[in-house]
Amino acid sequence: MDQLEAYLMQETFDCGDPIRWWYDKLTSNQWPDLARMALDYLSIPATSVDVERAFSVGRQTVSLYRHSLSCDTIRASIVFGNRCKENLVDDRELVELLRE
């Protein structure tokens, strides 16, 4: 019997916190493949807000006048901008880098 069949043969129950329940199954090695898949699905954001925000930032980066940027440049610009917004970039270090 495979992992899915073993899981489906159980009686239904309320596990409370499904992420914790599947994590316990993963760490106990009871159904490792099924647990990994369940955790992947359960960790998908319930809304599309993050995706919409990413597209919005991308649209601001790639305007009508900057459409010829390479994908590496676009990616670097978005990542750098995000790190700046989260205060992960030391301004003094950046200024020193640019002076070099």
What residues does each domain of the chain span?
A: 15-44, 48-60+67-98
39, exposed or middle or buried, with CB in 10 Å at 0-12, 13-18, 19+?
middle
pLDDT tens string 12-68:
989 899 999 999 999 999 999 999 999 998 887 676 666 677 677 777 777 766 677
- Determine the pLDDT at residue 8: 92
Q: Does the pLDDT at position 98 exceed 90?
A: no
Q: Are 26 and 32 in contact (CB under 8 A)?
A: yes
Q: CA torsion sign, 44 to 45 to 51 to 54?
A: negative
- Cα–Cα distance for residue pair 12/57, rounded to 1 Å: 44
- Considering only CA atoms, which of 4, 9, 11, 12 is closest in space to residue 32? 4
Regarding pTM above 0.85, the answer is no
